[in-house]
């Protein structure tokens, strides 16, 4: 893990940049408005890691998103 | 018989000659046709080249175009990399697409000022905001020129007070107004829970634009302030990341909700 030290991250904005690598066909949420994606972290202590996240809103591959924290990996939202 | 043969040969000769002539003529025709074809092919190519040159010239002349003829786009820079792809600053002095881009795949890549103007053309909320129910009875709907004048006035005020390019101030305001996280509702056996989700950059921009427009309308409702004043005030507060601004309050609230619902 050749990531930057957390102190080096000095941005005006909160969170860390990440790039969307892959869109999975899974749509979750009550109305199917949330999408599960695989994204690669570009900034912060976890940079270089690929994590699964739940993202709401219009998307395409190679879009950049901001994540508040990069340690958590999102599960699929299931409604029984 | 021999005579006949000789006659035949004599007759055949001119026939052959005629055939040759016809063939030659045909060959010439085909050559001419080919030449014409190449000319015909060359003409649209020329037209295409000319059209391309015209387009480039138009773009070059437009590249210096400034918003309302006053504020150049070229000075503006977007610091947030995630929003940069969707904050379109294509140089247009009076940004209007007349509904031509409505069926484009990613409509969100239209000029950002125009998108904001479209969001301002709205009625009230129909629900309570700060103790007031706002109903403007749709008197702004469809009136883009009216809104354009409002935005121009507001940008003038911003330019006077901050002495910066108002487009830059507006973009800063958008960057601070866009929330990172939000919540969605999920039901487990009749009980609804909130679950935190991240937001894509398109969604973040949409929320920021919507809140900014709403804040301007609530600021001007039942008060002496004009819509332009309220809008200018809101933009300047949001660009400083000031907690008195409605949009910043909204962002902080949604992010706080998401943090508790992780």
Phi and psi angles of residue B25, each rounded to the nearest 5 degrees, phi first: -60, -45
As a whole number of angstroms, the distance between CA B87 and CA B174 comes to: 9
Cβ neighbours of B82 in A, within 8 Å:
17, 63-66
Query: Domain map of chain B by residue range?
Result: 1-58, 66-260
**Whether B201 contacts A65, CB under 8 Å:** yes
Q: What is the dihedral of CA B48, B50, B53, B57, to 10 degrees?
A: -130
A15-67: which CATH architecture?
Answer: Beta Barrel (2.40)
Cβ neighbours of A65 in B, within 8 Å:
82, 198-201
* Model confidence pLDDT, tens digit, residues B84-143: 999 988 888 898 888 888 888 888 889 999 999 999 988 776 677 666 777 766 778 888
pLDDT score, position A2: 46
Which one of B81, B187, B199 has the shortest CB-CB distance to A56?
A: B199
Query: Domain map of chain A by residue range?
Result: 15-67
As a whole number of angstroms, the distance between CA B155 and CA B165 comes to: 9
How would you write the pLDDT of chain A (80 residues) with one tens digit per residue?
Answer: 444 444 455 678 888 999 999 988 878 778 888 889 999 999 888 889 999 999 999 999 999 999 988 888 887 766 55
Phi and psi angles of residue B66, each rounded to the nearest 5 degrees, phi first: -115, 150
pLDDT score, position B167: 93
DSSP H helices in B63-106: 81-84
Identify the CATH assignment for B66-260 out of 1.10.455.10, 1.10.8.590, 1.10.3720.10, 3.90.1150.10.
1.10.455.10
pLDDT above 80: residue B205: yes
Best residue in A27, A33, A51, A56 to probe B by mutation, most B CBs within 10 Å? Answer: A56
pLDDT above 70: residue B215: yes
pLDDT score, position B168: 93
For residue B54, give the H/E element and its range: helix B2-62
Beta strands in chain B (DSSP E): 66-67, 71-72, 128-129, 132-133, 181-188, 191-199
CB contact burial B35-45 (16+ within 10 A = b; e otherwise):
eeeeeeeeeee
Relative orientation angle of helices B144-162 and B166-177, to the nearest 10 degrees: 100
Q: Which residue of B has its CA nearest to A18?
A: B82
Phi and psi angles of residue B111, each rounded to the nearest 5 degrees, phi first: -55, 130
CB contact burial A22-59 (16+ within 10 A = b; e otherwise):
eeeeeebbeeeebbbbebebebbbbbebebbbbbbbbb
Average pLDDT, chain B: 84
CA-based nearest residue to A33, from A68, A80, A77: A77
pLDDT score, position A1: 44
CB contact burial B66-103 (16+ within 10 A = b; e otherwise):
bbbeebebeebebebbbbbbbbbbebbeebeeeeeeee
Q: For residues B184 and B19, which has the higher predicted lDDT (pLDDT)? A: B184
Phi and psi angles of residue B209, each rounded to the nearest 5 degrees, phi first: -65, -45
pLDDT above 90: residue B218: no
Mean pLDDT of B57-75: 79
Beta strands in A1-80 (DSSP E): 16-28, 34-41, 50-56, 64-67
pLDDT above 90: residue B37: no
Which one of A55, A68, A77 has the shortest CB-CB distance to B200?
A: A55
* pTM, to two decimals: 0.77
ipTM score: 0.84
pLDDT score, position A80: 53
pLDDT score, position B49: 87
**Chain-chain contact of A67 with B180 (C-beta, under 8 angstroms):** yes
pLDDT above 90: residue B52: no
As a whole number of angstroms, the distance between CA B76 and CA B66 comes to: 11
As a whole number of angstroms, the distance between CA B7 and CA B9 comes to: 5
* Strands B191-199 and A50-56, bridge-based pairing: parallel
């Amino acid at each position: 893990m050749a990531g930057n030290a957390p102190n080096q991250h000095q941005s005006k904005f909160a969170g860390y940049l990440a790039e969307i690598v892959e869109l999975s066909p899974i749509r979750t949420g009550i109305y199917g408005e949330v999408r599960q994606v695989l994204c690669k972290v570009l900034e912060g202590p976890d940079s270089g890691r690929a994590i699964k996240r739940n993202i709401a809103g219009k998307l395409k591959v190679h879009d950049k998103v901001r994540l508040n924290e990069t340690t958590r990996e999102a599960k699929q939202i299931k409604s029984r | 018989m021999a005579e006949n043969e000789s006659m035949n040969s004599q007759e055949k000769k001119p026939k052959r000659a005629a055939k040759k002539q016809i063939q030659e003529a045909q060959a010439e025709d085909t050559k001419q046709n080919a030449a014409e074809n190449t000319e015909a092919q060359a003409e649209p190519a020329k037209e295409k080249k000319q059209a391309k040159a015209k387009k480039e010239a138009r773009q070059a002349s437009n590249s210096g175009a400034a918003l309302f003829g006053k504020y150049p786009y070229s000075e503006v820079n977007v610091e947030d990399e995630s929003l940069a792809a969707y904050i379109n600053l294509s140089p247009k002095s009076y940004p209007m697409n007349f509904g031509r881009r409505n069926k484009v795949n990613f409509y969100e890549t239209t000029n950002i000022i125009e998108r904001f103007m479209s969001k301002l053309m709205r009625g009230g909320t129909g629900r309570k905001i700060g103790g007031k129910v706002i109903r403007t009875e749709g008197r702004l709907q469809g009136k883009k020129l009216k809104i354009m004048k409002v935005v121009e006035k507001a940008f003038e005020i911003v330019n006077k007070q901050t002495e910066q390019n108002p487009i830059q101030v507006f973009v800063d305001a958008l960057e601070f107004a866009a929330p990172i996280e939000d919540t969605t509702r999920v039901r487990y056996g009749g009980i609804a829970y909130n679950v935190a989700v991240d937001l894509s950059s398109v969604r973040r921009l949409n929320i920021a634009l919507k809140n900014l427009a709403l804040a301007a309308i609530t600021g001007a409702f039942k008060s002496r302030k004009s819509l332009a004043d309220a809008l200018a005030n809101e933009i300047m507060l949001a660009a400083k990341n000031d907690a008195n601004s409605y949009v910043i309050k909204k962002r902080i609230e949604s992010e706080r909700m998401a943090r508790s619902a992780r």
